[in-house]
Amino acid sequence: LPRRMMLRTATISLLAALSSLLSVAAAAHAPRPPTPSRIKLTQNFREAAALSAKLADPATPQQRKKVAVIGGGLSGLACAKYLSDAGHTPLVLEARDVLGGKVSAWQDADGDMIETGLHIFFGAYPNMMNLFQELGIEDRLQWKAHRMTFAMPQLPGEFTSFDFPDGVPAPLNMAAAILGNTEMLSLLDKVRMVPGLLPMLLEGQPFIDAQDELSVKEFMDKYGMPETVNEEIFIAMAKALDFMDPDRMSMAVVLTAMNRFINEADGSQTAFLDGGQPERLCAPMVDHVLSRGGEVRLGAPLAAIEVGDDGQVACLRLADGSSVEADLYVSAVPVDVFKKLLPASWSTMPFFRQTEELIGIPVINVQLWFDKKLRSVDGLCFSRSPLLSVYADMSTCVEEYADADRSLAHAHWALHVECRASSCLSLARASLALAPPPCVRRSPPGRAPGGAAAQCGEVYLT
């Protein structure tokens, strides 16, 4: 009898493992849902497409300019792409040996992809949707079911969601999604949200812009919204949009996102790229630029922007001592980097003096590898934690990282204080309720971490 039971148990385990493997294989080869068609019917998408078409009108030889673009992130590469479409000759200068900036990624010595951050694409990103279409790489987007999934802090490991019904136009689909969820907001809470959101629906962007001086908390107090709306919705939105707490964030940012999600039927639907951003998104942009006579240089850090007596840019001085001259210059670097490059003679000008008021927000990106498959959601999860922004199991969400036996949890921590590695692990355990990995390594800027792989997982602080 014991042998029978052992054989039966082993058979069940084998069948379960085989079923898991077949499920992953089937998912990997299943046809992907196309980009939701209603995205391309929105006014924002049509405006973005019209701008692209306008830029694609090639310049005459007399109008062509050489343009130096500082920074090889998404903004710098997109700038170079559209400059080349317009007939100009862009030169992209990237300081590091990897492209992508905030979406950069690299492979470490163990063969794992280390990403700078967790990145997804909303349907309400008209410029990005146009870019994917123009580059012919829309099929690289893995669109997820149209829902917004939230962790339930009071029930660790449990989730709830706003499920958007198929085929229902905006804003009725958003209303149905919110009203259909009974685990986050009571009916009274939902009713008390209306006075603050109704002017946004009726007046549009002018009303949104007028709220710029109000924080989320101040806006809530002004319109009598209950604190539960902040705890259940606005904390998650503030962390996801700008990695900030609601009391420090302009309500105009939240309302802009909400306005898009409410008025665009598929605006809140999300897609993951099917692999690493540098290869799947940045490389096609580089190929596009190179094919039209442009240039992209890696390992070309800028030392200084040199200006002439007239205050105009004379040249860009690179760290190796060489110089770059162009007809026009574009900065596509983060504001904290730009402030270090700003020429002293420009720093007192009213326009550039405003950069002193701009401060980058520190964000920690954490990747957790596990030697077992966790119960996870196929899509982005909003944590509703004061520290954790969003997270996802990349082994479930992304084809390149698909794994039937292990999980790769990818999360963003939005911190405004210094955090030691041991503290970050404690935050990870508390927020994700996951077993702690055995080691932590810090990856130096611009290069992949080395060393032997851990037995059950590693955390990279990038």
- Count of domains in the chain? 3
Would you say residue 219 has pLDDT above 90? yes
Position 183, amino acid: E
Q: 244, 263, 282: which is the final residue of a domain? A: 263
- Taking a C-beta distance cutoff of 8 angstroms, is the pair 151, 159 a contact? yes
Q: How much is the mean pLDDT over the chain?
A: 86
Residue 36: both structure tokens together? 């939701």
- Taking a C-beta distance cutoff of 8 angstroms, is the pair 462, 116 a contact? yes
Least confident of 153-157, 328-332, 438-442: 438-442
The model's pTM is 0.83
* 28 domain-assigned: no
Query: Do 102 and 123 belong to one domain?
Result: yes
* 154 domain-assigned: no
Q: Is 270 left (phi over 0), alpha (psi -120 to 50) or beta?
A: beta
Query: Do 417 and 342 belong to one domain?
Result: no
Q: Tell me: the pLDDT tens digits for 409-456? A: 999 887 654 455 455 555 555 554 443 343 334 443 443 333 333 333
Q: Tell me: the pLDDT tens digits for 130-145? A: 999 999 999 999 999 9
Q: 357, 372, 389: which is the final residue of a domain? A: 357
Domain span at 191: 171-263
Query: Do 399 and 325 belong to one domain?
Result: no
Distances in whole angstroms, Cα of residue 116 to Cα of each of 119, 277, 448: 9, 10, 11
CB atoms within 10 A of CB 43: 10
- Phi then psi for residue 376, to 5 deg, are -140, 175
